[in-house]
Amino acid sequence: MSRTYVTIDGTEAAAHVAFRTSEVIAIYPITPSTAMGELSDAWAAAGKKNIFGSVPIVQEMQSEGGAAGACHGALQAGALTTSFTASQGLLLMIPNMYKIAGELTSTVFHITARALATHALSIFGDHSDVMAVRQCGWGMLFGNNVQEVMDMALIATASTLESRVPFLNIMDGFRTSHEVLKVEMLSDDDIRSMIDMERVGDHRKRALSPDHPVIRGTAQNPDVFFQAREAASPYYAATPGIVQTAMDRFAALTGRSYHLFDYVGAPDAERVIICMGSAATTTEETVHYLIESGEKVGLLKVRLFRPLDIHALVSALPATVKTIAVLDRTKEPGSGGEPLYQDVVTAVAETLSAGTAPFKTFPKIIGGRYGLSSKEYTPAMVKGLVDEMAKPEPKNHFTLGINDDVSHSSLDYDPSFSTEPDDVVRAVFWGLGSDGTVGANKNSVKIIGEETTNAAQGYFVYDSKKSGSITTSHLRFGPRPIHSSYLITSANFIGIHQFGFLERYPVLETAAPGAVVLLNSHFNKDEVWDHLPKSFQQTVQARNLKLYVIDAYDVAKATGMGVRINTIMQTAFFAISGVLPRDEAIAQIKYAIKKTYGKRGDAVVQKNNAAVDTALAHLHEATVPGRSGEIQLAAAVPDNAPEFVKKVTAEIIANRGNELPVSAMPVDGTFPTATTQWEKRNIALEAPVWDPNTCIQCGKCIMVCPHACIRSKVYDGALLESAPGAFKSTTAKWREFADKKFTIQVSTEDCTGCTLCVETCPAKNKSAVGLKAINMAPQRPLREQERTNWEFFLGIPDLPRDTEAVRFNSVKNVQLLRPLFEFSGACAGCGETPYVKLLSQLYGDRALIGNATGCSSIYGGNLPTTPWAVDAQGRGPAWANSLFEDNAEFGLGFRLTLDSHNNYAKVVLGQLAAQIGDGLVDAIMTADQSTEAGICAQRARVADLKATLAGIDDPRARDLIVVADTLVKKSVWMLGGDGWAYDIGYGGLDHVLSTGHDVNILVLDTEVYSNTGGQASKSTAMGAVAKFAAGGKPSNKKDLGRMAMAYGTAYVAQVSLGASDAQTIKAFTEAESYPGPSIIIAYSHCIAHGIDMAKGLQQQKAAVDSGAFLTYRYDPRLVPQGKNPLQLDCKGPIIPLQDFIYNENRFRMLQASNPAAAAELLDQAQKGVKAHWKLYQQMAAAEVGV
């Protein structure tokens, strides 16, 4: 049977089988599993069929809980059904998983195993999630690399149909799910051969049908529940045998042989490691290496973890084994050991006592943890472990891969130990996300994997920042299949695609002696040496590296590639790495270009081809003289940073986080805020420069800056005496501050260069209208000067919040409030962060913020540095992320506690009134905190109170000190995106709105799941193309605001900064002042809209002008005054809908791919917009009964 070789990742490998063997697929996005749903949706949209000849129905749900429910129902109705998930998503499926297993239902869910959120969220891989469902009664099969993932998907599917036990097909998140590897594709005939159609028929016959009705899901009593639960036991007992039979049939079909437990290594091994997942491949590689040098070591790969066949496990071990080390990729705090360890101990004990074990004495069994959150697991660690096993008293309950200097659990190892074979090309590339490095490398892997007989592997490491993000690519090419599931530790090729990385990152750390280094440099081959950091030069000399340079940006500019240097660097790589003959390589690159870009049009293919043709003429080997210079690596943070930032944060920034010991970490996930200010990323090529003479001091640039890099202050002119020479200042244009000075200062080093400020600036230079009051200029020459100016600016006092001269209710005045959310990792030009920053300006000094998982929790809370900041008094937002689905409930909890503590404080105040003083107590109890001045006055009173309490020797006084701050008004906010508010968290959000408690909900509405890469939510507009809605979303955007209004007791507003910044501020202030639940739905442009982000505000305005997004405020306080609570702040549709939507790729894509559908949906959407507006007009005009 002929099969094709392809280079794909683990998600595609699993989805390939899942799609072909399913009739119903219920999906929900969660990293790193999302791609499986995306592929299924795209295949279904393209009419691809399963092996039964029908197109599977792919249904996006509102949560993983919903997906599991839909699967359960589909299964009950007899469909072959699947889903894909990971991490918390899998946890949300648990209730249904029990049901599905309890009803002996055949299904396979495909899992990209990922860490569970505990002290912190992590998107990366380990087995915490799958270990948390091991008790549900599902079979659990582990595929250790991309090929095995595909194979196990089919084996699991065949087994579940035969055994009736549902299965999880598990791969390691990222390491396997996102590794691109050359694999042999299973054909439809292979799949058909493995699927027993009689069993498929049995599954369908068990379906609920009114034609032969049965009842399931009964309630049972103590008399029979237990027996009924045991009735399924024979099915579990039979399952391992069924799986082995399926594996044997599979081996006969494909030649790839698997067993429940596969032993590899010395037949007389004394030390055996037991593990599962991608670690098994790395261990296997190392075991083979060690056997070569005479070590008696072995590995037992666990494939079927549940149902656990202890006899098969133990009998797979060599009789000679003396020490067993069991590796678990999870942590179960407080347990007697992690799950696999406990199972192995049990298996050995049971079989030994039964006399069925191959050995007669109890071997030493140690267990340990490794690889949490994709922590590297390398041959060096395996070597460290087998060395430890050789000790008379090896450490048990160890950790591997970290330095645990607290509990001293970690094993030592020599990181320089390497098993990398010499005949494998090992290439590491450092690039920016925006330069296309990863895409080109994926292409290179495909070229080698699919067009040559060589094996190929690619793995890619990404940044947690969404702007200026750095990527590293690890590519291996070799004559044998590659099973090295770890990052390259010794590279014979290093590509450095950004010259700026040289000063910041250890780019040559992995360079092997004699390695080839390719550097994108604007200095030519003779000049470049003297511009390299000293440590770089010394490494080149010491390791005898060959250095090549190419000015890729110059080539890109000349060939119309802009900043995408991918094709150019790829061409240079092939030219000097020797992976393929040069001419063949170029032909293959061009073929790949045609395949990748062909359908985007000839012009795109032509420009890429031109880049290939031009690249080689600009590639030169650099002169490497004997001398070295004095350029030092830049410090990660400045000297005046706080101690924690210098000791911990700086190490993470400098890519040395892996070396931090356990003792450096907070024990409970608590971190200091205000740390982004220490990480000067300097990612903008151009930054804004203020022109005081043109400026009208309106504050719009400050309002819109997504990264809070533009600030203004009004201050006393006397302060300018110590100002740096280049510091700009002008007379303040406020009646109230006529005698003051005014400055707009840019934090040039934190700017991302998005240009939203310039776009929004309304002031034009009278002599040259192309210039505004703020204009972009090259960043590099500004850097030093503006750093000094910024430091001076920060020293100018902020306007006190209780300033009586102005009220902070207009754009002009709000600009003077210090943002307490700054320099986040959000995309350049982000549409969400201006709202978040506004919240921080208005209420940050007294805000508790609960943040739903999503973009805002990542740019708001992903290490190394976090943007929530503090004011001069040390106050600032206190922020926490619970989960994706529970954020409204989480935030409500804040309010309940604040109210409870406030009540308690008042009770104790009353009890201690005599000692404290009636006057102060009375003033605190009756304080009016409806204004900033009132709040500041209360703060002063509470400070007095604390001072007084300190002198009172009474336990109640000591207790009151702790809760006294709750006597000052606090502002509770729940933040999140539309994925949270419209979909997964809607139930909770709806409930919170109904409670009447004083909380504020800010929905950052991008109309799509932005953080996971653009899947449709219920907020997605009709006709927009999104993932899971590849054919254009057929239904209207859900009207969340109207649903919230239905209570009549919640404040509801829709705002769009680009349409009206004044209305936005008004809504925020009204929401905060409303003494009940408030919800603000804030239209946020997004990278997932496919727009020029600099035009984001224009699109926000167009959204409102077209009527696609209405701005309004609904204030229940107006009802008692006899007024209609709904105030429309927009004019309804004043431009055609198409004038808004066809500026955005998400809509244009449909126009390009399916013009007829686009026209139909546009027509429907346009009618819908008009009808929606009419409805709102009627609602706003209705008479209100008091």
* Residue 81 C-alpha from the chain's centroid: 28
Report the residue from 154, 723, 869, 1026 that binds another protein according to the rule CB under 8 A.
1026
Please give the helix or strand (H or E) that residue 100 lies within, else none: helix 87-102
Distance in Å, CB of 1151 to another protein, minimum: 8
Q: Binding segment for another protein among 598-606, 611-619, 671-679, 1067-1075 (CB under 8 A)?
A: 598-606
> How far apart (Å, rounded) are the C-alpha atoms in residues 534 and 425?
28
Residue 929 touches another protein, criterion: CB under 8 A: no
Do the beta carbons of residue 1011 and residue 854 sit within 8 Å? yes
Residue 975 touches another protein, criterion: CB under 8 A: no
Q: Residue 272 or 1091: which CB sits closer to another protein?
A: 1091
Q: How far apart are the first and last CA of the chain?
A: 79
Residue 559 touches another protein, criterion: CB under 8 A: no
Among 1008, 1007, 995, 1180, smallest CA distance to 1078 is for: 995
* DSSP assignment letter at 113: E
Q: Binding segment for another protein among 347-355, 464-472, 542-550, 583-591 (CB under 8 A)?
A: 464-472
Residue 759 touches another protein, criterion: CB under 8 A: no
Report the residue from 342, 535, 541, 606 that binds another protein according to the rule CB under 8 A.
606
Do the beta carbons of residue 796 and residue 711 sit within 8 Å? no
Please give the helix or strand (H or E) that residue 11 lies within, else none: helix 10-20
> How far apart (Å, rounded) are the C-alpha atoms in residues 441 and 474?
9
Residue 133 touches another protein, criterion: CB under 8 A: no
Strands 546-550 and 398-400: unpaired
Do the beta carbons of residue 20 and residue 191 sit within 8 Å? yes
Q: Binding segment for another protein among 52-60, 231-239, 576-584, 1084-1092 (CB under 8 A)?
A: 1084-1092
The SS3 call for residue 74 is helix
Q: Which residues contact 31 (CB under 8 A, 6 or more apart)?
A: 86, 87, 114, 123, 173, 1012
Residue 891 touches another protein, criterion: CB under 8 A: no
Report the residue from 582, 647, 764, 1123 that binds another protein according to the rule CB under 8 A.
764
Report the residue from 69, 1014, 1058, 1077 that binds another protein according to the rule CB under 8 A.
1014
Residues numbered 820 to 879 that lie near another protein (CB under 8 A) are 827, 858
Among 512, 784, 508, smallest CA distance to 655 is for: 508
Report the residue from 391, 557, 582, 599 that binds another protein according to the rule CB under 8 A.
599
Q: How far is CA 213 from CA 76, 101, 208, in A?
A: 12, 21, 6
Name residue 782's amino acid: L
- The catalytically annotated residue of 38, 60, 64, 822 is 64
Do the beta carbons of residue 171 and residue 143 sit within 8 Å? yes
* Residue 1084 C-alpha from the chain's centroid: 19
Name residue 1068's amino acid: F
Q: Residue 421 or 1031: which CB sits closer to another protein?
A: 1031
332 is known as an active-site residue: no
Q: Residue 260 or 456: which CB sits closer to another protein?
A: 456
Residue 469 touches another protein, criterion: CB under 8 A: yes
* DSSP assignment letter at 1027: B
- The catalytically annotated residue of 566, 833, 902, 1011 is 1011
Among 418, 695, 444, 724, smallest CA distance to 571 is for: 444
Number of residues located near another protein, criterion CB under 8 A: 64
Q: Residue 178 or 707: which CB sits closer to another protein?
A: 178
Do the beta carbons of residue 64 and residue 48 sit within 8 Å? no
283 is known as an active-site residue: no
Q: How many CB atoms lie within 10 A of CB 957?
A: 21
Q: Residue 598 or 1120: which CB sits closer to another protein?
A: 598
Q: Residue 175 or 941: which CB sits closer to another protein?
A: 175
Residue 434 touches another protein, criterion: CB under 8 A: yes
Q: Binding segment for another protein among 184-192, 487-495, 738-746, 1009-1017 (CB under 8 A)?
A: 1009-1017
Report the residue from 10, 56, 371, 439 that binds another protein according to the rule CB under 8 A.
439
> How far apart (Å, rounded) are the C-alpha atoms in residues 1142 and 1106?
12
Q: Binding segment for another protein among 86-94, 269-277, 466-474, 505-513 (CB under 8 A)?
A: 466-474
Q: Binding segment for another protein among 85-93, 686-694, 958-966, 1019-1027 (CB under 8 A)?
A: 1019-1027
Do the beta carbons of residue 320 and residue 270 sit within 8 Å? yes
Name residue 437's amino acid: T
Burial class (CB in 10 A: 0-12, 13-18, 19+), 679: buried
- The catalytically annotated residue of 31, 286, 566, 673 is 31
Distance in Å, CB of 1024 to another protein, minimum: 10
Residues numbered 769 to 808 that lie near another protein (CB under 8 A) are 769
Distance in Å, CB of 855 to another protein, minimum: 9
Please give the helix or strand (H or E) that residue 390 lies within, else none: none
Residue 447 touches another protein, criterion: CB under 8 A: no
Residue 121 touches another protein, criterion: CB under 8 A: no
Residue with the two structure tokens 């450095």? 496
Q: What is the DSSP string of 398-422?
A: EEESS--TTT--BPP--TT-----T
885 is known as an active-site residue: no
Residue 95 touches another protein, criterion: CB under 8 A: no
Report the residue from 96, 106, 144, 471 that binds another protein according to the rule CB under 8 A.
471
Residue with the two structure tokens 């701005």? 1111
Q: Which residues contact 1151 (CB under 8 A, 6 or more apart)?
A: 1142, 1158
Report the residue from 603, 943, 1134, 1182 that binds another protein according to the rule CB under 8 A.
603
> How far apart (Å, rounded) are the C-alpha atoms in residues 234 and 859?
51
Q: Binding segment for another protein among 56-64, 413-421, 455-463, 932-940 (CB under 8 A)?
A: 455-463
Residue 460 touches another protein, criterion: CB under 8 A: yes
Q: Residue 484 or 1011: which CB sits closer to another protein?
A: 1011
Residue 1152 touches another protein, criterion: CB under 8 A: yes
Q: Which residues contact 780 (CB under 8 A, 6 or more apart)?
A: none
Residues numbered 27 to 86 that lie near another protein (CB under 8 A) are 31-32, 34-35, 38, 41-42, 45-46
Name residue 891's amino acid: G
Residue 1157 touches another protein, criterion: CB under 8 A: no
Distance in Å, CB of 1011 to another protein, minimum: 6
Residues numbered 257 to 276 that lie near another protein (CB under 8 A) are none
Report the residue from 429, 597, 1140, 1176 that binds another protein according to the rule CB under 8 A.
597
Report the residue from 476, 812, 970, 1027 that binds another protein according to the rule CB under 8 A.
1027
Report the residue from 325, 1030, 1082, 1102 that binds another protein according to the rule CB under 8 A.
1030
Report the residue from 248, 405, 527, 602 that binds another protein according to the rule CB under 8 A.
602
- Name beta bridge partners: 743: 713
Q: Residue 326 or 1016: which CB sits closer to another protein?
A: 1016
Q: Residue 112 or 789: which CB sits closer to another protein?
A: 112
Do the beta carbons of residue 934 and residue 927 sit within 8 Å? yes
Do the beta carbons of residue 693 and residue 730 sit within 8 Å? yes
Residue 1011 touches another protein, criterion: CB under 8 A: yes
31 is known as an active-site residue: yes
Do the beta carbons of residue 974 and residue 888 sit within 8 Å? yes
CB-side neighbour CA atoms (13 Å) of 529: 18
Residues labelled catalytic = 31, 64, 114, 1011
Task: Report the interface residues with another protein, using CB under 8 A.
Answer: 31-32, 34-35, 38, 41-42, 45-46, 123, 174, 178, 432-434, 436-439, 442, 460, 462-466, 469, 471, 560, 562, 564, 597, 599-604, 606-607, 764, 769, 827, 858, 1010-1014, 1025-1027, 1030, 1087-1088, 1090-1091, 1145-1146, 1148-1149, 1152-1153, 1155
